[in-house]
Amino acid sequence: MFFRENGQFKSTYRADMQLLPIVQDRYFMLAIVALAFVAVPYLASDYLFLSIINPFLILTFAAIGLNLLVGYCGQISIGHAAFMAWGAYAAYNLVQRVPMLNFLVVLVLAGLVAALVGMFFGIPSLRIKGLYLAVATLAAQFFTDWIFARVKWFTNYAHSGSVSTAPVNLFGWTIDSPSEKYVFLLGVLIVFTVIARNLVRGHLGRAWMATRDMDVAAEVIGIRPVYAKLTAFGVSSFYCGIAGALWGFFHLGSWEPLAFDLNLSFSLLFMIIIGGMGSILGSYLGAAFIVALPIALNQIPEKMGVPLSTAMATNVEFMIFGSLIVLFLVLEPHGLARLWAIGKEKLRLWPFPH
């Protein structure tokens, strides 16, 4: 009833091709963005920012990156935490060694470094597919762990291999309070979300999706697999590199190679599987699920006044979290984003389904 495009006529190609063709959708999205920028900084507590919202924003960023590769181009990678590590260490070294660079420039350069490394490790994808490729990307993970733990230059000869960063300064604005970090992260994320949305519906995204759906057919219609696959690896790693730099500078503050271990790679993969492969929205939903749910589950027994020992509460958290993952995958194998799409479809017909 409310969610219907009746009477919304498009008279130009431009209007027909916009990101959110339905007016209600557009207003809804604008309202959310406005709320996120204006209201949330005043409403949320520091704890909420530092433990849930900010990590959620950064991991969403990384999940979008991984989704471009796995969801859109169909190349499985279980080494994406490695590309985050490259971004983080590249940013750290740039800030340490070239202090006059603006942080935004550092971010882009860190992304480019990660993109180069990602493309290098994407080369095997030209020959191998599916699970075999996944195993090959594992090499990126272990190689990265090794290089940052062993080559002292990358960590500026820190004696325990742990690096730390100063608060970021941007045009005289020192971003150190939780809400300032939030505003900055949100801004960066929105810009790159829009870019990603446009990428996947442009010629590059179409090439990726064609490769995903059937690579032989894609080749026949003139899409070069080398180009499609390597750009997917490059762009995906670029996103993850920036996410890694943000993770290091805005969330961790100081980190060791262990912060970007295989667990993080798996978490990213779970995010896009649960959120929805091949969906930007799914990256958001999946990241929220993986970041916030365990923390919430851990605190529920105490908030409800159930006296549970610390160890028990943690074990219960693992059990419920695990079963929820299974439950969601059984109910909707295409992820939370698909649930959202179904809801929207229903809403369109409501209250007169035919």
Segment 321-350, which members bind another protein (CB under 8 A)?
A: none
Q: If binding means CB under 8 A, how many residues of this protein chain bind another protein?
A: 33
Minimum distance, C-beta of residue 86 to another protein, in the bound complex (Å): 19
Other C-beta atoms closer than 10 Å to the C-beta of 116 total: 16
Work out which of 8, 96, 102, 198 binds another protein, going by CB under 8 A.
Answer: 96
Please tell me whether residue 254 adopts helix, strand or coil conformation: strand
Work out which of 3, 37, 51, 206 binds another protein, going by CB under 8 A.
Answer: 51
Q: Residue 163 or 288: which CB sits closer to another protein?
A: 163
148 neighbors 155 (Cβ within 8 angstroms): yes
Q: Does 101 bind another protein (CB under 8 A)?
A: no
Work out which of 97, 127, 159, 354 binds another protein, going by CB under 8 A.
Answer: 159
Helices (H), 167-309: 178-201, 203-213, 215-220, 225-246, 262-275, 280-303
Work out which of 53, 62, 242, 252 binds another protein, going by CB under 8 A.
Answer: 252
Segment 181-240, which members bind another protein (CB under 8 A)?
A: none
Distance CA 126, CA 250 (A): 36
Tokens standing for 350? 């409501």
Q: Residue 215 or 256: which CB sits closer to another protein?
A: 256
Q: How far is CA 203 from CA 39, 107, 207, 235, 271, in A?
A: 37, 26, 6, 14, 26
Q: Quick one: which of 251, 232, 265 has its CA closest to 83?
A: 265
Q: Residue 84 or 277: which CB sits closer to another protein?
A: 84
Task: Identify the sign of the CA torsion 235, 241, 242, 243.
Answer: positive
Tokens standing for 59? 């991991």
Q: Does 28 bind another protein (CB under 8 A)?
A: no
Work out which of 22, 36, 50, 116 binds another protein, going by CB under 8 A.
Answer: 50
Q: Residue 12 or 160: which CB sits closer to another protein?
A: 160
| Backbone φ, ψ for residue 272 (5° rounding) | -75, -25
Residue 170's beta-bridge partner residues? 173
Q: Residue 255 or 340: which CB sits closer to another protein?
A: 255
Q: Residue 61 or 72: which CB sits closer to another protein?
A: 61
Segment 54-73, which members bind another protein (CB under 8 A)?
A: 55
Q: How far is CA 96 from CA 99, 180, 284, 299, in A?
A: 6, 23, 32, 39
Q: Residue 18 or 299: which CB sits closer to another protein?
A: 299
Place of tokens 């505003």: 183
Distance CA 246, CA 235 (A): 17
Minimum distance, C-beta of residue 292 to another protein, in the bound complex (Å): 11
Tokens standing for 89? 């260490």
Minimum distance, C-beta of residue 311 to another protein, in the bound complex (Å): 4
Which DSSP helix (H) or strand (E) runs through 59? helix 54-67
* Candidate ranges 27-35, 133-141, 254-262, 282-290; the one touching another protein (CB under 8 A): 254-262
Work out which of 166, 214, 226, 331 binds another protein, going by CB under 8 A.
Answer: 166
Q: Does 164 bind another protein (CB under 8 A)?
A: yes
* Candidate ranges 27-35, 106-114, 157-165, 324-332; the one touching another protein (CB under 8 A): 157-165
Minimum distance, C-beta of residue 161 to another protein, in the bound complex (Å): 5
Tokens standing for 121? 């490790």
Segment 124-153, which members bind another protein (CB under 8 A)?
A: 149
53 neighbors 189 (Cβ within 8 angstroms): no
Strand (E) positions, the chain? 163-164, 168-170, 173-175, 254-255
Segment 291-310, which members bind another protein (CB under 8 A)?
A: 295, 298-299, 309-310
Name the site residues for another protein (rule: CB under 8 A). Answer: 46-47, 50-51, 55, 96, 149, 156, 159-166, 176, 252-256, 258-259, 295, 298-299, 309-311, 313-315
